[in-house]
Amino acid sequence: GSWTQLYLITDYHENGSLYDFLKCTTLDNRALLKLAYSAACGLCHLHTEIYGTQGKPAIAHRDLKSKNILIKKNGTCCIADLGLAVKFNSDTNEVDVPLNTRVGTKR
């Protein structure tokens, strides 16, 4: 058989989530732009399929919010909690959606 489950292992980011960080931190425009730009770049990387033996599928997060974005020491973002993410299979032109239809955060 083949193994199809993907794992993502990241560093620990002591600044916590963007949600918590913005509640207790005042940032200038440059720092805010750096956060926004790095979050957009991270999302772009998730959405981009990379071909080859060291590649990755295109991924849709499906629960992106400030509590699922972590702040690194250098003031950039790291997208976290890909528990609801789905991947796009370009060979079949299909999205790998699990039977669990739950999407996003229940309020």
Task: Establish whether 63 is a catalytic residue.
Answer: yes
Pairing state between β 86-89 and 77-79: unpaired
Which class for 9: exposed (0-12), middle (13-18), buried (19 or more C-beta within 10 A)?
Answer: exposed
From the list 11, 28, 63, 91, the catalytic residue is: 63
Cα separation, 19 vs 6, in Å, equals: 27
**Cross-strand pairs, 17:** 70
Task: Give catalytic residue positions.
Answer: 63
